[in-house]
Structure 1
Amino acid sequence: MKSTTPMRMRLIPVAVSGLVAVMLVAGIVPRLHARAAQTHQVDEQREPLVSTISPKQAPATQELLLPASVMPWADASIYARTSGYVQQWYADIGTHVKAGQLLASIETPELDAQLRQARADAAMAQADYRFANSTASRWQTMLQTQSVSQQDADAKTSDSDAKRAALQSKQADVTRLQEMASYQKVTAPFDGVITVRNVDIGSLVTAGGAPGLAGMPGELMHIEQTDRLRVFADVPQDDAASVKPGSAVYLTSQQYPGRRFPATLARSAGAIDPVSRTLHVEADIDNRDGALMPGAYAELHLALVSPAPELQLPASALLFRPDGVTVAVLGRDGKAKLKKVTIGRDFGIYVEIATGLDATDRVIDNPSDSIHDGEALRTSTHA
């Protein structure tokens, strides 16, 4: 028993020393790992890892997509040119008509009576002129034999001239009323389709299109030419210089997915609208198949050709600083260099760099907002 006690006493310090060593190791090792990780992180922050890209040549042609309005080649409101009642109409909405085709007839009893009276007045004036002219001729003959005085002969000649002027006035009145009577037949001014009909049999219409009944707009019908169409769009000011009349364009419509409607850019306004800062353009399109309808919405596709395309970069490579658009370039010494650039055409995820960039530059993609001139970097190059 006595010999075991001193041995136990000797083992206690050894156990305590081992326990202290284990505790020291458990506390020091995590700190060493944390310090090593911190050192590694500081090293990475001191020289961030970046990827570089090379500028590429921008495409010479860029497609510009614009919202467009489809309008008829010609459209006209048809009004009455004479007052009366609609006797019959011959074309309803949706009817395709030819130029000169009868659309409606108007009954004009008052005009007919006026025309009969004017013709009677003209006949009376004709008779008066014949008598006055015959009398003047006789008096001129008698004047040669000194049977009548010069004054009396001149009076008869003047009366004949007055009667002739009265006849011409009456004949002009007959012509005017005949012209008004010809408008009893309402005809189509050009080939097209009737889109509006506002009258029915017995409706009162008045000359010049003034409403004849309450609620009537005055317009008898509306006609539109749809075998050819006009397409209107507004080109942004930045692209206006690239738009040339005569160039080929095409239309797309949501009604016909995947179908292209070829058209020709016919004309432009030639001036920028000061309100919208756009150039108003017009394209002509053949619509003999009737696929497109006037008034519809479509999209106009224009191919803009650049005579001297510049370099392009992805939009992710741009830095927007207070002093302008900037790109970060990796120098041969492994340090960053900031270059101010100007943006040209916008291709969506890519933009054209008009000035400030060289083809040999190694541009940093997705640069940090805090990047600055002379910053040391580690690189991995991307194509």
Structure 2
Amino acid sequence: MSEHNAPIENPAEAGPDSRTLKRVGIGAAMIAIVVVGVGVVSRINATEELRQTAVDAALPTVAVVTPKADAEGNALVLPGNVQAYNSAAINARTNGYVRRWLADIGDQVRAGQPLAILDAPDVDQQLAAAQADYQTALANQRLAETTSKRWASMLKEDAVSQQETDEKAGDLAARIAVSNAALANVNRLKALQGFTRLSAPFDGVVTSRSAQIGALVVAGNASAQPLFTVSDIHRVRIYVRVPQGYSAAVKPGTTATLSLPEYPGRSFTATMTSSAGAVDPQSGAVLVQLQAPNPDAALKPGAFAQVRFQVAAGQGNALSLPGSAILYGNDGPTVAVVGTDGRVTVKPVTIARDEGSTVQLSGGVTAQDRVVDTPPDAIRTGDRVQVQKAAAGGKGAANGR
């Protein structure tokens, strides 16, 4: 038997049969399919995560606050300006020079008490000339009167005509008028000379003095500083601008409490006496006047005071928000409120009192609303936002989405 026809003694040494090859191929194909499927799924998941991240990034993140109840209850605290019960600026009514000043700032003065003496030589000379003119007019008047009487007597004897007698009577009337005019000029200059003595118009205290010895005083100069200011401070007036929303609750007879920075812990009682009865279009407030007794002169004219009114219960919602939460537009003040679904609703609000950092509202929001703090100007109703989580110890009152 030849070598080529010899039988195979060891089958294991022979190559893999077709069945084995088929199994291997099917397994490799299945592994490839699994690898491809896993890759496709991973890519799909990554794409979805990227899309969700982009959607989340497109939503603006906002901080929210909740309206707070007014901690002061029904107290209405407003700034007020203290003024003297009466105050008079003393100016000169005649030209001259200051000879002496007799009162200084802080001095208590009585009505009619002299404050300063002026020298007015021009007025003195004018008065002397006016008195001479008056004497001349009187002499002419007496002569005309004598002549008129004489002609009236001669008329009875038909020694003169009626026309001539009437002319003499008319001349007397003219002379009397000239005398009266000359006397009026004398009285005017005497009054002007009397203005060289500056006096206090009422009991009070001198709160300013600009008079200096030898200084020239020019009457009628509107821009000139007053020589003295006298203020009656036995009582004081306090002027307060009350917001329109509270103007109906503050009426004449309402009492208020004053506090001043120079008297910590001390308060003063004042009573509202009158109201302007009109809303100032620029400030949106009504000017009211209060009065308070001032026996110890503790309340000074021109001082700043905090005026506290007790308004009626239920006046407004007594809710406050930070001033940064208010949007001001053509439709008035509004706020952006975030709902539970993360969508914004822009609501109009009514401002009762603007205190700068905080704003008191009388309507438009509730204590449960989540209001966007510092909202963008472009925010609109229906916009979606995500709420920033409140930091520990922070003032935000909202929870995250």
The correspondence for 1:145, drawn from 145, 148, 157, is 157
Structure 2 match to 1:88: 100
Aligned residue runs from structure 1 range 253-332, under 5 A: 253-306=260-313
Which has the larger strand fraction? 1
- How many equivalent pairs are there? 291
User: Match of 1:245, SS?
Assistant: coil
> Residue 62 and residue 203 in structure 1: after superposition, are their counterparts in 2 closer, same or farther (change >3 A)?
same
Structure 1 match to 2:120: 108
Asked if structure 2 preserves the Cα contact closer than 8 Å seen for 1:326 and 1:341, the reply is no
Asked if structure 1 preserves the Cα contact closer than 8 Å seen for 2:243 and 2:352, the reply is no
Give RMSD over aligned pairs: 4.0
The reply to whether residue 245 of structure 1 matches residue 257 of structure 2 is no
User: Match of 1:199, SS?
Assistant: coil
Relative to the length of structure 1, the TM-score reads 0.65
**1:303-355 deviation line (CA, Å, top 9, x unaligned):** 1114x67998999xxxx9x9987999xxxxxxxxxxx9998989x99x99979
Structure 2 match to 1:37: none
> Residue 218 and residue 64 in structure 1: after superposition, are their counterparts in 2 closer, same or farther (change >3 A)?
closer
The correspondence for 2:74, drawn from 47, 59, 62, is 62
User: Match of 2:182, SS?
Assistant: helix
Quote the offset at 1:89 in angstroms.
0.7
For 1:63 and 1:175, the matched residues in 2 are separated by 60
For 2:99 and 2:349, the matched residues in 1 are separated by 71
Relative to the length of structure 2, the TM-score reads 0.62
Quote the offset at 1:124 in angstroms.
1.6
Quote the offset at 1:108 in angstroms.
1.7
Aligned residue runs from structure 1 range 1-383, under 5 A: 62-209=74-221, 217-306=224-313
**1:12-54 deviation line (CA, Å, top 9, x unaligned):** xxxxxxxxxxxxxxxxxxxxxxxxxxxxxxxxxxxxxxxxxxx
Gaps in structure 1 of 5+ consecutive residues: 1-57, 212-216, 329-339, 358-362, 371-383
Amino acid at match of 1:248: T
User: Deviation above 6 Å: which 4+ runs of structure 1?
Assistant: 308-315, 322-328, 340-346, 351-357, 363-367
Structure 2 match to 1:32: none
Asked if structure 2 preserves the Cα contact closer than 8 Å seen for 1:250 and 1:260, the reply is yes
**1:190-224 deviation line (CA, Å, top 9, x unaligned):** 2222122112222221222468xxxxx35212222
Amino acid at match of 1:149: S
User: Match of 1:168, SS?
Assistant: helix
User: Match of 2:112, SS?
Assistant: coil
Asked if structure 2 preserves the Cα contact closer than 8 Å seen for 1:205 and 1:218, the reply is no
> Residue 134 and residue 342 in structure 1: after superposition, are their counterparts in 2 closer, same or farther (change >3 A)?
closer
User: Match of 2:267, SS?
Assistant: strand
**1:238-258 deviation line (CA, Å, top 9, x unaligned):** 212211122111101121122
For 2:168 and 2:319, the matched residues in 1 are separated by 99
Structure 2 match to 1:46: none
Asked if structure 2 preserves the Cα contact closer than 8 Å seen for 1:327 and 1:364, the reply is no
Amino acid at match of 2:230: I
Structure 1 match to 2:56: none
Structure 2 match to 1:42: none
Gaps in structure 2 of 5+ consecutive residues: 1-69, 327-333, 341-346, 372-384, 387-401
**1:338-382 deviation line (CA, Å, top 9, x unaligned):** xx9998989x99x9997999xxxxx98999x99xxxxxxxxxxxx
Quote the offset at 1:185 in angstroms.
0.9
